[in-house]
Amino acid sequence: MSKKRLTLQTSLAIAILLIGAIGVALVMSTDNTYRRLAFEQQQASVSQLIAIKSADLLKKLGSLQQDLGLKLQDDDNFKQALLSKNKKDITYWLDQEFNR
């Protein structure tokens, strides 16, 4: 009975193929990890950007509301409409301020 023995050439070919397969598996694993981390980083950056922009817009809106209130306090026509509780005139004067 003759047993087939692995020759040096066959064992070298098997080793090279195994190393190649391991390399492909590592590349695929690294690619998946990189994509996931890049997506998470991008998601965190967008969330942070939205938070910063929202805070800026809220601050600006607060400032605009304050300016509107101060302008309306000095307007005698608006004060008169407010005291008489005339909704139509109040709406008119508020619209006038928003349109300025």
Q: What local confidence, expressed as pLDDT, does residue 52 receive?
A: 98
Q: What local confidence, expressed as pLDDT, does residue 40 receive?
A: 98
State pLDDT tens for residues 28-45. 999 999 999 999 999 999
Q: Cβ neighbours of residue 94 under 8 Å, at least 6 residues apart?
A: 72, 78
Residue with the bigger pLDDT between 78 and 88: it is 88
Give the start-to-end residue ranges of the domains of the chain: 8-99
Banded model confidence at residue 3, pLDDT cuts 50, 70, 90:
low
State pLDDT tens for residues 57-83. 999 999 988 988 888 888 888 888 888
Q: Do residues 78 and 72 touch, judged by C-beta distance below 8 A? A: yes
pTM over 0.95: no
Q: What local confidence, expressed as pLDDT, does residue 29 receive?
A: 97
Query: Which of the 8 DSSP states describes residue 93?
Result: H
Helix (H), strand (E) at residue 18: helix 8-74
Mean per-residue pLDDT over the chain, rounded: 90
